[in-house]
Amino acid sequence: MSSYTSGDRLTYSEYLRLTELLDLQSGEKGCTREINNDETHFIIIHQIFELWFKLILSELRCARDLLMGSHVEESKIPKIVQHLNRVTEICRLMANQWKVMETLTPQDFLVFRDKLGTASGFESWQMRELEILMGLKNNDRNKGMDPLSHYRKLADENPIYLQGLNQLEKTIKEPSLDDVLQQWLERTPIQGSFITDENDQELVNDFVNEYLDAMIKLNKKSLEITSEHSSVDKKTLEDRFNANIKSAEEYLRPEGETNRSRAGLLFIEAYRDLPLLAWPRKLIDSFVELEESMVLFRTHHARMVERIIGRRVGTGGSSGVDYLDATTKYRIFKDLWGVRTILIKNSALPPIKNQETYGFSNK
Ligand code: HEM
């Protein structure tokens, strides 16, 4: 029998290990001094976030594992969506949790801020891990920051960081959610053509060409209408509309070659009413919602920080609010955001071919 059980019945507090949990708010290891109510609040909020991060990591891994592999059963998609939706809801809750933090006044915080020294949420390895697991690249971070080299430096200074470093080193070797999503999108049947079909490349290129032609036609019309009523001169407008087409071409054919994953994504978004695309489209929406909720979580953090410490330097030594605002520009699932710019109305879409591929399946 484990030392946690009393008699045969597992108790509420044993199951949740409440005694240990409620004993973890001392502020520092072995501290016997009483901490004040505001500091207890500060610690509890941080601990709650870290617990949410822990759950987010496990949900993201479940979603990633289900979406990984060369074939994903359609029946698995609802489960993946469920994992992603749970993370989204946690992020929404966390975004609101900053409100509780904001009940700490700037003066209340100053009472114990010095005690933190250089300790900062910047050192949260779970936060870095979830960014890496989702697929955030160092080049897309503020000033190309490399979390691993930051963590190596921390671990050199203090072995307490080895746990975080090991975790990050392990995670960076794993496929990210963005990796598996792109691989899955690449296999989307486009106009009824499968990636394994002999003439797939030709058919996908045809689809991309037809789509771009449809965009060009629409653009021409929009330019005529806009230039009639706009205060912007025709040449500037023309440049803007042409840039739109150019960016669509670059999106679909980076370096001249069709990107099948983006073409597949465009196909799902464009023909989203087709029955067989219902779950794929839901999956994509879940990724977008997840990233949006993450961005809002970051944004609310920055606003809370601005309210409590103004524009001063963070305890981690960053520029503080400016740094946090820069992180709100991060986008991981860039293609999902990018495709939105090139969507066109249903009535202008190239006609759908091999529609039966996307009908209800009797299997
Ligand atoms: C009074 C409350 C808080 C203030 C004033 C504050 C301030 C800051 C500042 C200034 C930074 C930038 C890094 C630095 O130079 O320190 C930062 C980063 C961070 N904070 Fe907070 N924070 C607060 C509460 C929290 C809480 C409750 C959490 C929950 C875990 C948290 C998590 C983070 C994370 C994860 C980062 C890294 C963000 C990134 O690099 O993307 N913070 N915080």
Q: Got the DSSP string for 30-74?
A: T--SPPPHHHHHHHHHHHHHHHHHHHHHHHHHHHHHHH-SS---G
Nearest CA to ligand 1 atom 12: 320
CA of 350 to the centre of ligand 1 (A): 48
**Above 50 in pLDDT, residue 231?**
yes
Nearest CA to ligand 1 atom 39: 122
Q: List pLDDT tens digits, range 22-48.
A: 999 988 765 666 789 999 999 999 999
**Above 60 in pLDDT, residue 324?**
yes
DSSP annotation of 276 reads G
Nearest CA to ligand 1 atom 40: 122
- Domains annotated for the chain, with CATH where assigned, are 36-358 (1.20.58.480)
Nearest CA to ligand 1 atom 33: 121
What does the pLDDT read at residue 228?
Answer: 85
Q: Give the least confident one: 74-78, 135-139, 225-229, 326-330.
A: 225-229
- Counting ligand 1 atoms within 8 A of each CB, the residue from 38, 122, 136 with the most, and so the one to mutate, is 122
Nearest CA to ligand 1 atom 32: 121
CA of 121 to the centre of ligand 1 (A): 4
CA of 306 to the centre of ligand 1 (A): 11
Q: Are 44 and 101 in contact (CB under 8 A)?
A: no
CA of 120 to the centre of ligand 1 (A): 6
CA of 298 to the centre of ligand 1 (A): 10
Best CA proximity match to 128, nearest among 117, 142, 113: 142
Q: Distance between CA 315 and CA 313 in Å, rounded? A: 7
DSSP annotation of 362 reads -
Q: Distance between CA 67 and CA 48 in Å, rounded? A: 29
CA of 122 to the centre of ligand 1 (A): 6
pTM (two decimals): 0.93
Q: DSSP characters for 197-248?
A: STTHHHHHHHHHHHHHHHHHHHHHHHHHHHHHH-SS-HHHHHHHHHHHHHHH
Q: Which atom of ligand 1 is nearest to the CA of 131?
A: 41
Burial label, 321 (beta-carbon count in 10 A; 0-12, 13-18, 19+): buried
Q: What phi, psi does 106 have (nearest 5°)? A: -55, -40
Q: List pLDDT tens digits, range 262-315.
A: 999 999 999 999 999 999 999 999 999 999 999 999 999 999 999 999 999 999
**Above 70 in pLDDT, residue 339?**
yes
Q: Distance between CA 361 and CA 363 in Å, rounded? A: 6
Residue 8 binned pLDDT confidence (cut-offs 50, 70, 90): confident
CA of 312 to the centre of ligand 1 (A): 13
Contacts of 316 (CB under 8 A, 6+ apart): 118, 119, 120, 121, 122, 123
**Above 70 in pLDDT, residue 361?**
no
Average pLDDT over residues 163-182: 98
Q: Distance between CA 36 and CA 360 in Å, rounded? A: 62
Q: Which atom of ligand 1 is nearest to the CA of 308?
A: 5
Q: What is the mean pLDDT of the chain?
A: 93
- Counting ligand 1 atoms within 8 A of each CB, the residue from 168, 305, 329, 332 with the most, and so the one to mutate, is 305
Kindly list the protein residues whose Cβ atom lies closer than 6 A to any atom of ligand 1: 45-46, 49-50, 101, 104, 109, 120-122, 124, 127, 301, 305, 308-309, 314-318, 320, 323-324, 327
Best CA proximity match to 253, nearest among 9, 24, 185, 261: 261
- Counting ligand 1 atoms within 8 A of each CB, the residue from 56, 132, 324 with the most, and so the one to mutate, is 324
CA of 131 to the centre of ligand 1 (A): 15
The CA-atom distances, in angstroms, between 151 and each of 55, 109, 122, 183 are 22, 27, 10, 30
What does the pLDDT read at residue 33?
Answer: 67
The CA-atom distances, in angstroms, between 201 and each of 159, 193, 207 are 52, 9, 10
What does the pLDDT read at residue 29?
Answer: 63
The CA-atom distances, in angstroms, between 73 and each of 66, 77, 190, 361 are 9, 7, 18, 13
Look-up: residue for tokens 């050199």?
Answer: 156
What does the pLDDT read at residue 26?
Answer: 85
